[in-house]
Amino acid sequence: MKTKLTIFVALFVLLFGNFTYSTAQVDVTLTVENQNVVGSDFFFDIYLQATSAPSNPLYLGNADFVLTFNVDNFTNPTISKEPQAGVSYGYCTFVPSDPSGSNTEITRINYYDNTSPELNGNEIIINLNGPTPSDQTAFDGRVAKIDEQASTHRLGRFKITGISNTSGTAGLQWKTSGSGTVTQVFSLDPVTFNGSAANINAVNPDDVPLPVELTSFSAKVQGSAVKLVWKSATEVNSYGYEIQKKAENNNWTKVGFVEGAGNSNSPRTYTFVDKNLVGGTKFVYRLKILDIDGSFEYSDEINVEVKPNKFELLQNYPNPFNPSTNIRFTLPETRNVKLDVYNVLGEKVATLLDRKMEAGFHSVRFDASQLSNGIYIYRLQAGNFTQIKKMILMK
């Protein structure tokens, strides 16, 4: 038997060669976004996008992000990572494969702490000393997973000081070849944890003026609503502001629009109140700043936590409705929730919810396309709390 096995192995090697583990190639696109000037400081963000995803996402390891810039338009420039008030990870938005618990925050802190920018003549060199996981749990909870979504996976925001030629431009251009340090990104294999170089598509940004120079963007909780306030110092060809929001772990959605001032050299203040809080207690807001010609930039993101102070069943909207409507309710605490619908005879026609739900603002869509016209009653039970309201189906 031993002789036969030896012959089989020798034949396999002869025919197929030595077997080695092969890692699928990862393609990554690098972009520079949100270029902005405040006083004599120039700001920009770096984003990553794995264009080979979803089959081959980028699990971000070590990297060098190298750009050239118009150093002659600056005097004694310095570069730094831009911090963000209230968090310890600057503007990093990376998320690991396992975002549960505190994994996302720890991942962002690790990447932020291990990102080191420096200037070398007309070169911007941003070095990332990526994670080195020792087991699968560490890999899933500490390594950033970059997928195919654009303008989502931000390494951070960076500031260059010392603008001296206000009529010039920063002139950012990616350096992907030549002597010295060049742009390179390594992807960690999800099985072996080894790193391999990704294929890079580095997209050079346009040198165009931003439509708006924002000086502040803030949020204030007002009961069960959030009031956003932002100020602009100047506006050039400003079309307006699209207000975007996402609940925790959800996608961005448009929640409103405020018209811009067109062209203005004087400070302006804008406000927007979001009364439609649905999806938990934690929300993120940003502004999509639109130019008249269709170009746009995004503002900083603002994190807001709003906790309801009481159990409440709200009036459905729209009402009357045909054939569907939204039923909203608030929970100040986690509770077992049951939401039923009855006809005027007291007969139950639908159970919309019957499960444990977290504290926050919630909404359920009720489809009455199979029911006849008339008045219906919906009842919310959350622990010892019960509330009833009426609604009208009018086809």
Q: What is the CATH number of the domain that holds 145?
A: 2.60.40
Residue 338 and residue 191 in one domain? no
Residue 293 and residue 375 in one domain? no
Burial 40-50 (b: 16+ CB within 10 A, else e): ebbbbbbbbbb
The burial class, CB within 10 Å (0-12 / 13-18 / 19+), for 247 is middle
Give the pLDDT mean for 315-328.
Answer: 93
- The pLDDT of residue 394 is 92
Residue 104 and residue 168 in one domain? yes
φ and ψ of 193, to 5 deg: 70, 10
Assigned domain for 7 exists: no
Which of 305, 327, 345 is the last residue before a domain boundary? 305
Query: Please, are residues 255 and 241 in contact by the beta-carbon 8 Å criterion?
Result: no
Assigned domain for 3 exists: no
Residue 32 and residue 178 in one domain? yes
Assigned domain for 17 exists: no
The string of pLDDT tens digits covering residues 339-355 is 999 999 999 999 999 99
- The pLDDT of residue 125 is 98
Residue 193 and residue 317 in one domain? no
- Grade residue 168 by pLDDT with cuts at 50, 70 and 90: confident
Q: What own/partner pairs with CB < 8 Å and gap ≥ 24 does 196-201 have?
A: 196/23, 196/26, 198/25, 198/26, 198/27, 198/28, 198/58, 199/25, 199/26, 199/27, 199/28, 199/52, 200/28, 200/29, 200/30, 200/176, 201/27, 201/28, 201/29, 201/30, 201/51
Count how many domains the chain has: 3
- Grade residue 164 by pLDDT with cuts at 50, 70 and 90: confident
Query: What is the pTM (predicted TM-score) of this model?
Result: 0.53
Residue 297 and residue 319 in one domain? no
**Residues ≥6 apart with Cβ < 8 Å to 63:** 127, 128, 130, 184, 185, 186
Q: How far is CA 137 from CA 189, 190, 191, in A?
A: 14, 11, 12
**Residues ≥6 apart with Cβ < 8 Å to 279:** 247, 248, 250, 360, 361, 362
Which of 202, 236, 269 is the last residue before a domain boundary? 202
Residue 49 and residue 153 in one domain? yes
**Residues ≥6 apart with Cβ < 8 Å to 345:** none
Residue 68 and residue 181 in one domain? yes
Which of 278, 305, 332 is the last residue before a domain boundary? 305
φ and ψ of 22, to 5 deg: -115, 130
Residue 154 and residue 297 in one domain? no
Residue 127 and residue 249 in one domain? no
Residue 264 and residue 387 in one domain? no
Assigned domain for 59 exists: yes
Q: Which amino acid is at 174?
A: W
- Please determine, for residue 46, whether its predicted confidence score (pLDDT) is greater than 50: yes
CATH of the domain at 298: 2.60.40.10
CATH of the domain at 357: 2.60.40.1930
- Please determine, for residue 269, whether its predicted confidence score (pLDDT) is greater than 60: yes
Assigned domain for 21 exists: no
Query: Please, are residues 70 and 122 in contact by the beta-carbon 8 Å criterion?
Result: yes
Assigned domain for 12 exists: no
Asked if omega into 57 is within 30° of 0 (cis), the reply is no
- Please determine, for residue 130, whether its predicted confidence score (pLDDT) is greater than 60: yes
Assigned domain for 57 exists: yes
Assigned domain for 252 exists: yes
The string of pLDDT tens digits covering residues 82-117 is 999 889 999 999 999 999 999 999 999 999 999 999
Give residue 126's domain range.
27-202
Percent of the chain past pLDDT 70, that is, above it, reads 91
- The pLDDT of residue 212 is 61
Residue 58 and residue 198 in one domain? yes
- The pLDDT of residue 39 is 66
- Please determine, for residue 389, whether its predicted confidence score (pLDDT) is greater than 80: yes
